[in-house]
Structure 1
Amino acid sequence: MAGKHEHSRHADTTAFTDYGEGEVAGGVNDVFGEEEHHQIKYKTLSWPLVSILMIAEIVSNGMLSLPSSLATIGLVPGLVVIIFLGIFATYTSWLLVKFKLRHPQVHNMGDAGHILAGRVGKEVLGAGTVIFAVFATGGQLLAGQIALSSLSGERLCPVLGAVVFAVPTLVGSFPRTLERLGWLSVPSVVCIAVAGIVGMVGAGLEPEEGRRVRVVESPSFYTAFSSVTNPVFAYAGHFMFFILMSEMKTPTDAMKAAYTLQTFATTYYAIFAAITYIYIGSTVTSPSFSSLPSTYQKAAYAIAIPNFLIAGCLYAHTAAKLVFVRLFRGTKHMHSHTYLGWTTWMLLVVVMNVLAFVLAVGVPVFNYLIGLAASLFAAWYTYGIAGCFWLHDVYHDHGGVRGWKARSFQAALAVATFFAGGFVCVAGLYVNIRGIIEAYQSGEVSRPFSC
């Protein structure tokens, strides 16, 4: 028995240290198991399709807040923050991929939390993933509503615009597997890329007269960090990494997708933010398309709508998928066309979309609540908790604290990652709570469901 245990331990260590070799995430521990004879097959994604899904999800309405960040802290510091966060997000992506390959049974952040902190970790991180995904869906509904309002010349009632946008988002969330949404994400990525180009061209052809562009600004901490949260949360898609990897044919290819995502996102964010800010100046709003001349504003929003739609579908699908796997993992309802399985799936999709819609149009301070949710959860999912994953696996696979000491630089980086996530979380909560208080004091808050 001892020899068998040592062999198993050695196999686990090999999996941790040699991720690029062979099929680490296969076999009985895989969340979806062997699917050869199943009616519904989940593990169908290639790494290029995962790249497209990630870009469609992350490079969306979040990029439209970046030019206003440069207007607040200045051109150079703004670009430094965008590029640094892109590199940082690539590093934390690598940590998440390593952890998933080491623990193929992990399907979502809740499963990862169970490994780190037992039942409490499972419930907190699992609930946080669902909450953040629902809020993110609501954020895409708001983006769609703003786009439709712009196209109507601001004559369309916002609630009606949200309803119009919510219906196709709901329909698009129904596919059981991510592969179906993956192919829809291809035109989504093209649309957001072209929309950004149209926005930059519009800003360049009709620049704001008398605009002010500063290399460096000197804002207060509150104003600066309120602005910095825009690029921080523009990279906040890591909470989906485990779910996406679980549906890959070859999970060991996941870093190819992550490198593709971060290279595209960081490059595109920097170019879009800089050009838009340079030609519009300090008066650029968030979302930045609303600062464009009317013709270009409508064109950019119209082209971007499919991306807002697919991103909303992905977030709602993610929220429903996490609960569905929690309910039916290891049962026939996961892989077979059963009445209970399909009824539950459709009900979960409807519930997640309805919650997102009610929050988006029924909560007057929803924009701030998105920031609160992002501070509470996305700050950890994208940055802080990744360091904990590395520390956990090295501790258990390489002799405890001795393993950390033998890898002192990586250990220090992992600890720094944890504290960075904590700082973003606390500071983000501060600026969003203060923003809510000031919104109420200034009378900015409107009535729920009002036009």
Structure 2
Amino acid sequence: MVESETTSKQDFSADDDRETDLESAYLRILSQQIVSEQGHSIKYRTCSWQKTAALLFSEYICLAILSVPWSFSILGMVPGILVTLSVAVTVQYTSLVLWKFCMKHPEALNICDIGRILGGDSQMIYNFTAVMFIMNNVFIMGLHCLVGAKLLNTLSDDALCTISFSAISAGVCFFCSLPRTLKQMSWLGIFSAATMGISVVLSMIFAAVQDVPRGFSGEPPLVTTLPAKGTTYVLGMSAFLNITYTLIGQITLPSFIAEMKEPKDFPKALWACTICEVILFTLCGGIMYHYIGSQYMIAPAYGSLQPLFKKIAFSFAIPTITYLGALYASLSARFIFFRIFEHSHHRYSNTITGWSVWASIIACLWIVAFIIAELIPFFSDLLSLMSSLFGKY
């Protein structure tokens, strides 16, 4: 018995020593990163947890929320709510696991570094992860080119210049992508999340108060508890993927954590965002589906509102359409930029070379995003494709 107690105490002592060693290594690497930025005009480890929360809100409280009512119309009310809640719980759990991993490996500055660590320091896995990371982000940028064009068409009542409107959206997003730190982007994120929240709330109110949904044919809105008879597997999976992709965002979390002053505070930002998004997603999907019905539902759900209501609600989404695409462009550009200037003063300084390369990278990314938007010009199809390609959680 005495020997067993002694062994147990030694095990606890060994665990404590390991935790102390990990914490010491974490603090050492974190302090090295902060010290390396001192004396430079551009510093990256500057985000508080509140600013990180703003980045998370701007990422999750986005236009894709308005695709959730369409998913509910395919899955039915009960499965729609259950899928939303179950995916949100899974995403929250995996996000916390990812945060704990980043705490043990503060040298991991993005998802690609994590891929390399998990792959036994394999450069091939790092490169594969990098390609998928950039493709995911560029597809999201393409989605925002597409939605920006839809917005301009809606507000101008001119459906003749969709390609031109997509190009205009890409150009505006390009200029919003130019800030080089996430701290600078977070201020825009607060405004973006607030206006998008207003847009979603207005959409729910307008769906309830309008006399009939847009395109009303005389048949009362059809609302089902379960999927309607005849719903195909492909259609049901597309609806599931729409919800899934809207809630998934872990690919960006290491990049956010890497720019926090105190990464240990990240769960505060994560919980605040998750609670709000679950409430907003469930209410938006359920309320708009209840008043619009399956036969009049369009993704995004703005299309099911009467023209005046649609214009009012859609106009509040302008900051989100612009900002969120810019955020993903910034994350992609930052990864490429850091690879080019890994050990160069251009990384931390306001030099002509640094800013020229930064602007060129962003311009190339938005050109590719514009091409994607023109090749796949349908909102729900592009959202489902992105989820099936990149939405692994």
For the aligned pair, the TM-score class normalised by the smaller chain equals: 0.7 to 0.9
Spell out the pairing of 1:31-430 with structure 2 (5 A cutoff).
34-117=36-119, 118-206=122-210, 207-208=212-213, 210-218=220-228, 219-282=231-294, 283-362=296-375, 368=381, 371-379=384-392, 383=393
Shift of 1:362: 4.5
The one-letter code matched in structure 1 to 2:223 is V
User: Residue 212 of structure 1 aligns to a residue in which SS?
Assistant: coil
Distance 1:99 1:231 in 2: 26
The answer on whether the counterparts of 2:146 and 2:379 sit within 8 Å (CA) in structure 1 is: no
Q: Is the 8 A contact 1:24 1:102 kept in 2?
A: no
Q: 363-372 or 183-192, which moves further after superposition? A: 363-372
Q: For each residue in 1:94-132, what CA deviation from the matched residue of structure 2 results, as whole angstroms up to 9, or x when unmatched?
A: 011011111011111111111111112201111111111
Supply the AA of the counterpart residue of 1:263: I
TM score, norm. by length of structure 1: 0.77
Aligned pair in 2 of structure 1 residues 293, 59: CA closer, same or farther (>3 Å)? same
Structure 1 residue 376: Cα displacement = 2.5
* Residue equivalent to 2:10: none
Contact residue 202 and residue 296 of structure 1 kept, 8 A: yes
The CA distance in 1 between the partners of 2:203 and 2:46, in whole Å, is 35
**In structure 1, distance between residues paired with 2:390 and 2:159:** 36
- Higher mean Cα deviation, 338-347 or 271-280? 338-347
- Contact 1:132 1:374 survives alignment (8 Å): no
Q: State the distance in 2 between where 1:194 and 1:11 align.
A: 50
Do the aligned residues in 1 keep the contact of 2:242 with 2:387 (CA within 8 Å)? no
Shift of residue 153 of structure 1? 2.0
Tell me the distance in 2 between the aligned counterparts of 1:36 and 1:63: 40
1:212 Cα deviation from its structure 2 partner: 0.8
* Aligned equivalents of 2:149, 2:234: Cα separation in 1: 29
Question: In 2, distance between residues paired with 1:366 and 1:355?
Answer: 17
| Residues 227/102 of structure 1: CA separation in 2 closer, same or farther (3 Å cut) | same
In 2, Cα distance between the equivalents of 1:328 and 1:301? Answer: 40
Identify if the C-alpha distance between structure 1 residues 45 and 122 changes in structure 2 by more than 3 Å, giving closer, same or farther.
same
> Please, what is the CA RMSD of the aligned residues?
2.4
Unaligned runs of 5+ in 1: 1-7, 384-451
| Contact 2:75–2:227 under 8 Å retained in 1 | yes
Answer yes or no: is the 8 Å Cα contact 2:79–2:226 preserved in 1. yes
Q: Are the aligned partners of 1:69 and 1:227 in contact in 2 as well (CA < 8 Å)?
A: yes
CA shift, 1:36, in A, is 2.7
Task: Evaluate the alpha carbon distance shift between residue 294 and residue 163 of structure 1 in structure 2; reply closer, same or farther with a 3 A threshold.
Answer: same
The AA in structure 2 aligned to 1:70 is F
- Tell me the equivalent position of 1:390: none
Deviation string 1:31-64 (CA, Å, 9 cap, x unpaired) is x653232211111111111111111122212111
Q: Distance in 1 between matches of 2:318 and 2:350?
A: 33
Cα separation, 2, equivalents of 1:73 and 1:365: 20
8 Å CA contact 1:74, 1:216 repeated in 2? yes
Give how far 1:156 is off: 4.6
**Structure 2 CA distance for aligned equivalents of residues 378 and 12 of structure 1:** 34
Is the contact made by 2:242 and 2:383 (CA closer than 8 Å) also made in structure 1?
no
User: Are the counterparts in 2 of residues 71 and 213 from structure 1 also a CA contact under 8 Å?
Assistant: yes
Name which structure has the greater RCO, CA cutoff 8 Å, separation 6+: 2
Determine helix, strand or coil for the equivalent of 2:316. Answer: helix
Q: Is the 8 A contact 2:244 2:391 kept in 1?
A: no
Any idea what SS the aligned residue of 1:278 has?
helix
Post-superposition CA distance 1:290-318 (Å, at most 9, x none): 11111110111111111111001101111
Letter in 1 for 2:356: T
Distance 1:82 1:154, change over 3 A: farther
Q: Name the SS for the 1:34 alignment partner.
A: helix
Whether the 8 Å CA contact 1:204–1:279 is kept in 2: the answer is yes
Structure 2 CA distance, aligned partners of 1:211 and 1:81?
A: 22
What TM-score does the superposition give when structure 2 sets the normalisation length? 0.88
